[in-house]
Structure 1
Amino acid sequence: MEKWHKSSHSSGEGSCVEVAEGPLVLVRDTQNRPLGHLDYNPDAWTAFLHGVKNRAS
């Protein structure tokens, strides 16, 4: 069973993303859990986070 946690990149305004890390990184919207999740391999997830950080700066 996956262990989900709130992403440190989520806003405090109710727009939350949960992440479960393991062989795949699973990502879901906390307000729409029944819709499922997206899965990334760890390298793709790292690249995504770097892209987000670079756009924010």
Structure 2
Amino acid sequence: MAIRQNALTEWTKSSYSANGNCVEVKAAEGHALLVRDSKSVSSGVLDFSAKTWSAFVLDVSRSAGF
């Protein structure tokens, strides 16, 4: 999932989420992306730099054969 900084002002689920249970992402100030569990939105968020998130998505895509 490629995300342009500040492109997502609302929490967004992956288009691959078949049943709604997925991670959600949202752009944050300071060149960061926030990630949370859609099943437990009050459990907190993970904060990734845009560079770290991009590297993660690229690695997962390569591993999955996309």
Question: TM-score if structure 2 supplies the norm length?
Answer: 0.71
- Identify the residue that residue 50 of structure 1 maps to in structure 2: 58
2:53 maps to amino acid: W
- Identify the residue that residue 5 of structure 1 maps to in structure 2: 12
1:11, CA displacement in angstroms? 2.5
- Separation of aligned partners in 2, 1:49 and 1:21: 15
Identity level (%): 40
- Identify the residue that residue 16 of structure 1 maps to in structure 2: 22
Q: List per-residue Cα deviations over 1:6-28 (Å, max 9, x = no partner).
A: 123x4313331110013210000
Matched, 1:28 2:28: no
Secondary structure at the aligned position of 1:3 is classed as: coil
Give the aligned length.
Answer: 55
Q: Moved runs in structure 1, 4+ residues, more than 6 A?
A: none
What is the CA RMSD across the aligned residues, in angstroms?
A: 1.5
Which sections of structure 1, spanning at least 5 residues, go unmatched? none
1:32, CA displacement in angstroms? 1.1
- Identify the residue that residue 37 of structure 1 maps to in structure 2: 45
